[in-house]
Chain A
Amino acid sequence: MSTAIELPHAKRTLANGLDVIVHEDRRVPIVAVNLWYHVGSKNERLGRTGFAHLFEHLMFEGSEHHNGGFFMPMQQAGALLNGSTNSDRTNYWEVVPTSALELALWMESDRMGYLLPALTRERFETQRDVVLNERRQNYENRPYGMALMALSAALFPPDHPYHWLTIGAVEDLRAMEFEDVRAFFRTYYHPANASLALAGDIDTAHAFELAEKYFGEIPAGETPERVEAEASLPREIRLVLEDRVELPRVYMAWHSPAMFADGDAESDLLADLLANGKTSRLYRSLVYDTRIAVDVSAYQHSREIGSFFLLASTAAPGRSLTEIAAMIDERIQRLADEGPVDEEMERGLAQAEAHFMYRLQTVGGFGGKSDQLNAYNVFLGDPDFFAGDLGRYRAATRESVRAAARTHLAFDRRVLLSIVPRGQAALALPGSEPVAVS
């Protein structure tokens, strides 16, 4: 028995190219305003990394007609708000009481249409320092915090835009020129490169009127060229990084199908059945039965032009990464040979269906309904994919999941990264090359 899961909505495109998507949900008197710009760190280039994210910070510092902080009037109206940048997109959202919807639209449209007159060198430099502190807090001063940097650099060649992380390199952040901000804004921050979703306590026709009123006057820009890049691994790469950690951890990373591509949902299911919960194959083997590891995780990092599948496991005190890696390999091999059993498929689907339902509970914020509509619209050109998205999981079979394991989790095309306590490089997997990240 399965429940119909739907996310009804309407979409229109303004004359200037701005996509507007509306979803009504009148249960709570709030409206989610969610605005995506199709730009992320994949639009940067080597030597100039971290720009898209730094720019996101500048969007909160004021625009021509409201030359002051973005938070002040929004919070005064009772809004919850935030923004984020990843490799593929930048999003901005506010959840406001219905009565403050026009305020949110006024402010979002002002920073889309009129940001540059308010942007000063001083604001730019302050936010650059804030970002350097964000980097220290979330990467440099955090155990295993540099792992993704090392992995991305090894998985993707220097001319591939997933080679670097969104936070950027310190030297690039320091070398940024204030003048670069203008060109970046003109290229990426305009209606034809954006998608606006309004979800919540609002009438659809009225929502379209308001979108036209506030955003219709902003001139169209040119749709930026789509970023294309290829990456593959010719062999297994073994790396070691010394860090301020107590217990060694091994990471395994593979290239995997791009977001929404064939095999993407199967990779997600693979991650689940390998390492989600005590029933999962690897948790059970590594942490529950043999206790050679203290944790294990797996995740399909779905991204626009190429994903990666990441496994990680931390050694129990006195146990070696070598025995952990051997056991993981043995379990992956078995999965590639035999595929999952029916119980695993049923469990995976039950979880996927429940999680799709849970995602219908909030109108705004990261992962709320407005964010999902924008994700489908920006990456697929059509917001109407909620049921289709779940359909990908319903369509997965034992054989398609087995095929995904066989095809994507090959031992001779992956990156193995050992993170070990400082001065103990010998705890890494044999044959690992030291890697430098900063």
Chain B
Amino acid sequence: MAVDRSRLPSPGPDPPFHFPQVVRHMLGNGLKVRTVEHPGVPVVTFVMQINGGLGADPAGREGLASLTADMVDEGTGMLSAIDISDALARIGAEHDVEVGADATMFTLTTLTRFAGRGARLLSDMLTAPSMRASDFERVRQLRLDRLRQLKDLPPAVAERAFLQLLYPSHPYGHLAIGSDASLRALKLDAAVRFHKATFLPGRATLVVAGALSHGDLLAAAEDAFGGWRGEERVLDAPSAAADVNPKPNSSPHLAIIPRDGAAQSELRIGHLSARRDTPDYAPLLTMNAILGGQFVSRLNLKLREEKAFTYGVRTGFDWRRGLGPFSAQTSVHTAATAESIADTLQEMSALRGTRPATAQEMSFAQASLTRGYPRNFETAQQVARSVAQLALFDLPDSYFEEFVPKVNAVTIDEVTRVAQTYLDPSRAIALVVGDRNATEESLSTLGLGELHVLPPS
């Protein structure tokens, strides 16, 4: 059986795949529960998503949502932080917390034979944390120390400053961890109040996915969370950051945070662009894939494969319920700083009309977005997190089934239209974390106006 090496084998039609069936339930206390059967490996994942993320931080108290979330595994009932850690380890559980812009997501994965124990442990932590002052002080101090260490990490420095430039005076304009000043101002009672106002069954969705029946998955949820009661009256429920309209932006277009002698420049280039509920979601994903969302995108081929300025460049949308940014992120050799920014802006611009997507780029982008889609549903944790996204963004349970046909229906004209609507190089902010002396002169030739020098943090 000799191989024909004169051409590549063309893949056959996509194999059929049935996306997980999501069953909706509502507990008596108002907690929304989603169950998904995921047979195979005896593993179960619980995802508790609570409405209220970093966008719920009050002004001047940035970091509150994240610090509160961090307190839940610091003690509950008779259990200390050490006891909780021990209990999690004894069922081999993996546990983590992710504080997003609009919601906070707690994930616990364990073996199915420990499903009940895992669920009850998660419930005890989330619904009845001890919130002791000594634990609070320790956790807060560790976060202050962490912030101090982040000053040396160029991606973190860039991320933080870029959010401030994108969202001046807006609840989205900070990292989940907050700032030195805001963390120092936080008191235990603020966390206690935030927990009371936010961690309520009516503000939460629990997704349970694993190698059990819907009935057993629901029973584990019901047994652990059925008795959860929130406060009767909540006076200060966090407002939704998504509803706050960002002000017209007067931020500079070109800014640098000096890092003398840095080996590379860390770059962020972009602007506020779209909300997750945009009807143009599928064309925007396609546009992004072509511009910078994958290895063979226009930008990566230019900056990495053609010019070798970087180990890699990516563009992407930071999807939120409110208006979220579109940006390019990369780290480039210092000498290539200005040219990398110019190339990025030029590629953003070209896709708006002078060099629209080609038919080949389209079919490529669509295929890469859709043909591998089933592999996002291999593990219970992948499934549970995907279903939590549906709840976060009010998407229908049929979303997974519709994704592939919707992306495949996108046309070149639509990509050009959404590029014109959602991409605007003239509004873009270019932020550099790098060597000022080595880059200042070339940056001034970019035509982006004055170079604003920002403080280190």
Which residues of A are in contact with B by a Cβ distance under 8 Å?
1, 3, 25, 27-30, 64-66, 69, 71-73, 75-80, 95-100, 102-103, 106-107, 109-110, 114, 126-127, 129-130, 132-134, 136-138, 140-143, 201, 209, 212-214, 217, 244-247, 277-279, 284, 287-288, 291, 294, 314, 316-317, 343, 346-347, 350-351, 353-355, 357-358, 360-363
Contacts and interface: CB of A to CB of B under 8 A. Distances in A.
Contacts of A65: 5-6
B23 interface: no
A401 B440 CA distance: 57
A278 B82 contact: yes
Interface residues of B, number: 78
A347 B89 contact: yes
11 contacts: A28-B374, A69-B296, A78-B11, A80-B372, A133-B308, A141-B266, A214-B3, A279-B86, A288-B138, A317-B148, A354-B93
B41 interface: yes
A71 B295 contact: yes
B372 A347 contact: no
Given A79-B372, A347-B90, 12 more contacts: A71-B295, A76-B367, A78-B14, A103-B11, A137-B311, A137-B331, A213-B3, A245-B149, A245-B152, A277-B89, A350-B90, A353-B92
Nearest to A114: B5
A245 B371 CA distance: 44
B364 A72 contact: yes
A72 B296 CA distance: 6
Contact of B149 (A27, A143, A355): A143
Contacts of A209: 1
B264 interface: yes
Nearest to B87: A279
A95 B149 contact: no
Contacts of A29: 14-17, 374
A279 B364 contact: no
Contacts of B1: 209, 212-213
B45 to A, nearest CB: 10
Contacts of B306: 126
Interface in B2-28: 2-3, 5-6, 8-17
B305 A106 contact: no
B332 interface: yes
Interface of B: 1-3, 5-6, 8-17, 39-43, 81-82, 84-86, 88-94, 109-111, 113, 138, 141-142, 145-146, 148-149, 151-154, 262-264, 266, 294-296, 304-306, 308-311, 331-333, 363-364, 367-368, 370-375, 377-380
A102 B4 CA distance: 12
A-B interface, 9 closest residue pairs, ranked by CB to CB distance from nearest: A354-B92, A78-B371, A129-B308, A29-B15, A78-B372, A278-B85, A100-B11, A143-B152, A136-B263
B325 to A, nearest CB: 22
A360 B109 CA distance: 14
A142 B379 contact: no
A246 B372 contact: no
Given A217-B3, A294-B146, A350-B92, A95 B110 contact: no
Contact of A136 (B141, B264, B373, B380): B264
Nearest to B304: A130
B149 A247 contact: yes
Contacts of A134: 311
A347 B88 CA distance: 9
B256 to A, nearest CB: 15
A133 B310 contact: yes
A73 B8 contact: yes
A78 B364 contact: no
Contact of B309 (A73, A133, A244): A133
A225 to B, nearest CB: 31
A107 B8 contact: yes
Nearest to B153: A143
